[in-house]
């Protein structure tokens, strides 16, 4: 769109496309806010430079509301319930210092390469080097945003800085973000990639110290690919119990060995258990979320699991207790294999498998009123 403006091309269609895309993004998830603000920044710069005017503003706003129309309709019905979600709630002020510390020592190293989500220990010097390189890249990007060689590069740096600033703000302020899963920083990652690419291009044109600003993050990104095979092996032998025991009580490797020994090829269980085991099985398993936490992110894989006549159920907590009650009430036989805090149920009768699959949670049977309580979500 910048190029079209510079060449004197029509702006109306571009503004309408930007407004509609922004509206759809806003409808899908509030985490799109950094992208929306970057688009607003770009549009404001076009207005300041006389490239866009009142007519374009009307077109852009109308396209935004058209793209986000389902969001407005649903929220008018629910009293704007979306604004009461944790994504739209602000964290308590006394937690900001801890968030900032996590940003520097956990999130940025995960996002840019040297660390991994639930991965092996990363040396402190690697984290310090990465953060220093990113800070230097931001300082140089800020300088180039107002003193760059060309107007196009200056505006590109400005947009990148908007993405970084708004993404970091969303991470620090949104109540539901976590330092070990920095998804709200992804727009900031894109902004840093733009700044890094511009520094690399400028350094190649005129080699100087700025070349290192791009090469240091690039080196860490390449190192993360080298570490990837080690990460899978590390996670197979590691338990989550020390960090978050509600996710997975036993070592994934022990569970995978037990499932392999039984010849199991498809599993049902908690969202957290199923997707982690499927990933770490390296293609040996398929699965479908089941029970109280049954968010289905990969419907195609769930269909493949549904075609297996002899699946296993890997359960813990309340789902495990419900399963025991269900089997006893129905007189169903099953093979039980405890592994850590989970139990593998295998060899269930066809009728039981059919009922469990249809309900996606342990169904309630007569005389067992507590089965399925709380599983409707």
Q: Would you say how long the chain is, in residues?
A: 377
The DSSP secondary structure of 283-307, one letter per residue, reads TS-EEEE-SSS---S-HHHHHHHHT
Query: What pLDDT score does 240 carry?
Result: 56
pLDDT tens digits for 65-85? 999 999 999 999 999 988 887
pLDDT tens digits for 152-207? 888 899 999 999 999 998 888 887 777 666 778 899 999 999 998 888 888 888 88
Q: Identify the CA nearest to 282 among candidates 316, 259, 302.
A: 259
Query: What pLDDT score does 164 carry?
Result: 95
Please give the mean pLDDT across all residues of the chain. 85
Query: What pLDDT score does 365 carry?
Result: 61
Q: Which uninterrupted H or E stretch holds 353?
A: helix 350-359
Distance CA 65, CA 50 (A): 24
Query: What pLDDT score does 248 carry?
Result: 54
Query: What pLDDT score does 250 carry?
Result: 65
Query: What pLDDT score does 375 carry?
Result: 37
The angle at the Cα of 77, spanning 62 to 74, to the nearest 5 degrees, equals 50
Query: What pLDDT score does 376 carry?
Result: 34
Residues 6+ apart with CB under 8 A from 274: 267, 268, 287, 288, 289, 290, 314
Q: Which stretches of the chain score pLDDT less than 50?
A: 242, 244-247, 367-377
For residue 183, what are its two tokens?
């998804």
Query: What pLDDT score does 151 carry?
Result: 82
């Amino acid at each position: 769109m910048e190029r079209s403006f510079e060449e004197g091309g029509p702006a109306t269609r571009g503004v309408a496309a930007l407004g509609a895309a922004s509206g759809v993004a806003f409808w899908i998830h509030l985490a799109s806010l950094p992208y929306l603000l970057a688009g607003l920044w770009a549009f404001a710069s076009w207005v300041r430079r006389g490239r866009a005017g009142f007519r374009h503003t009307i077109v852009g706003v109308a396209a935004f509301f058209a793209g986000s129309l389902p969001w407005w309709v649903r929220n008018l019905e629910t009293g704007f319930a979306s604004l009461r979600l944790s994504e739209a709630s602000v964290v308590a002020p006394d937690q900001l210092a801890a968030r900032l510390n996590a940003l520097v020592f956990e999130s940025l190293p995960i996002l840019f390469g040297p660390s991994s989500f639930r991965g092996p220990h990363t040396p402190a010097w690697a984290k310090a080097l990465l953060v220093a390189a990113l800070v230097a890249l931001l300082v140089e990007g800020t300088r180039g945003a107002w003193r760059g060689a060309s107007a196009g590069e200056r505006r590109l740096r400005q947009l990148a800085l908007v993405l970084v600033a708004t993404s970091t703000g969303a991470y620090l302020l949104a109540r539901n973000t976590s330092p070990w899963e920095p998804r709200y920083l992804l727009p900031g990652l894109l902004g840093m990639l733009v700044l890094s690419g511009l520094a690399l291009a400028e350094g190649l044109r005129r080699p100087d110290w700025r070349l290192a600003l791009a090469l240091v993050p690039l080196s860490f990104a390449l190192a993360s690919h080298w570490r990837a095979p080690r990460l899978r092996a590390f996670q197979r032998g590691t338990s989550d119990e020390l960090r978050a025991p509600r996710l997975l009580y036993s070592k994934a490797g022990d569970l995978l060995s037990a499932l392999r020994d039984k010849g199991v090829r498809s599993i049902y269980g908690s969202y957290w258990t199923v997707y982690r085991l499927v990933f770490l099985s390296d293609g040996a398993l398929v699965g479908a979320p089941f029970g109280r936490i049954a968010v289905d992110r990969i419907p195609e894989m769930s269909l493949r699991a549904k075609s297996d006549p002899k699946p296993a159920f890997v359960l813990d907590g309340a789902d495990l207790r419900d399963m025991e009650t269900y089997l006893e009430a129905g007189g169903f036989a099953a093979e039980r294999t405890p592994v850590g805090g989970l139990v593998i149920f295998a060899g269930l009768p066809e009728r039981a498998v059919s009922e469990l699959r249809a309900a996606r949670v342990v169904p309630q049977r007569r005389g067992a009123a507590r089965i399925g309580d709380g599983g409707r979500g």
